[in-house]
Amino acid sequence: MMNIFSEVGRYILFMRYVFKRPERGRVFWNMLLREMNLMGVDSLVVVILIAIITGAVTTVQTASQLASDSGILPPSLFPMAIVGSVVGSSSVLELAPTITCLVLAGKIGANIASEIGNMRVSEQIDAYEVMGINSVGFVSFPKILAGVLVIPCLIVISNFLLIFGGLIAAKLTGIMTMDEYVTGLRSSFVPLYAKVLMVKSYVFAFIITSLSCFQGYYTIGGALEVGEAGTKAVTKICVTILLFDLIIAKLLL
């Protein structure tokens, strides 16, 4: 238990140094663009694939549970349009922000932790310090800001593709008409859900990038520990995301 408090304390101290004014605006800007490209463009394909497949699976499974021959529910209790409603709501509230961020934790989080961990063990971070550069801010701030700018965009894209994936699955499997799906989708739209989606997006983006920077920065040892830093970062990010998922849901819904 003391370990958790000590870790949280170290994280807060770390964050104090992240948001100091960058030494050189131009260098910071170049690093920010590079990070946005790495996080955004390079993650787009995996986000698209995951979103479409998850949307399709959710549609097929929800329809299966509502189908009259499933044995779970009495025949014809619900109209099939409700599938669109369930997919729409769960995409906005849970699947798009949480599933996408858990995937991005594995991709972006592990990548950042390993990169900074490698810089730490090869003394590159010490080199920044000796030059008089605030190494915490220099290596972490562009990554955190890039994540907070780019990951919410990925989540919004993911949300649309989840719904689109559901639509494709509905059409290809013939479990309902497109009209039924869209009707259900429209009936379930609540503007508050969009706010929840955006709040989760920004909070999760911050968790992914800041925790991975923190984990990488305090790597001690060699190649083995760099690998471990990536794994530890992903584990911590996943647990923290799920914890904040619950907190945000409880506070906003």
Partner 1 sequence: MIQLVELNKFFEEKHVLKNINANFLPGVANLVIGASGGGKSVLVKTMVGLEKPSSGQVLFEGQDYHNLEYQEQQTLRREIGMLFQGTALFDSLTVEQNVEFPLLMFSNMSKEERMDRVNLCLSRVNLINANKKTPAEISGGMKKRVGIARAIALNIKYLFCDEPNSGLDPLTSRVIDTLLHDITKEFGITTIINSHDMKTVKDIGEHIVFIHQGQKWWEGSKDDLIEAQKSNPELDAFVKASF
Can you say whether residue 162 is alpha, beta or left, with left for phi > 0 and alpha for psi between -120 and 50 degrees?
alpha
For tokens 């991005």, what's the residue?
A: 104
Nearer to partner 1, 16 or 186 (CB): 16
Helices (H) and strands (E) in the chain, counts: 11, 0
Nearer to partner 1, 127 or 252 (CB): 127
Nearer to partner 1, 38 or 46 (CB): 38
Minimum CB separation from partner 1 for residue 5, in Å?
Answer: 20
The DSSP code for 77 is S
Nearer to partner 1, 16 or 195 (CB): 16
Minimum CB separation from partner 1 for residue 24, in Å?
Answer: 5
Nearer to partner 1, 123 or 179 (CB): 123
65: Cβ contacts below 8 Å, ≥ 6 apart? 72, 73
Contact by Cβ (8 Å): 194, 92:
yes
184: Cβ contacts below 8 Å, ≥ 6 apart? 80, 81, 82, 83, 84, 85, 86, 87, 88
Minimum CB separation from partner 1 for residue 227, in Å?
Answer: 17
Nearer to partner 1, 122 or 173 (CB): 122
3-state secondary structure of 232: helix
Minimum CB separation from partner 1 for residue 3, in Å?
Answer: 17
* Interaction residues for partner 1, span 22-61 (CB under 8 A): 23-24, 27
Minimum CB separation from partner 1 for residue 146, in Å?
Answer: 15
Nearer to partner 1, 38 or 182 (CB): 38
Residues near partner 1 (CB under 8 A), total: 14
Minimum CB separation from partner 1 for residue 73, in Å?
Answer: 57
Rounded CA gap, 38 and 104, in Å? 12
Closest-CA residue to 83 (of 70, 67, 99): 67
* Interaction residues for partner 1, span 112-141 (CB under 8 A): 122-124, 126-127, 129-134
3-state secondary structure of 160: helix
Closest-CA residue to 104 (of 212, 25, 12): 212
Minimum CB separation from partner 1 for residue 196, in Å?
Answer: 38
* Interaction residues for partner 1, span 199-218 (CB under 8 A): none
- In the complex, the residues that contact partner 1 under the rule CB under 8 A are 23-24, 27, 122-124, 126-127, 129-134
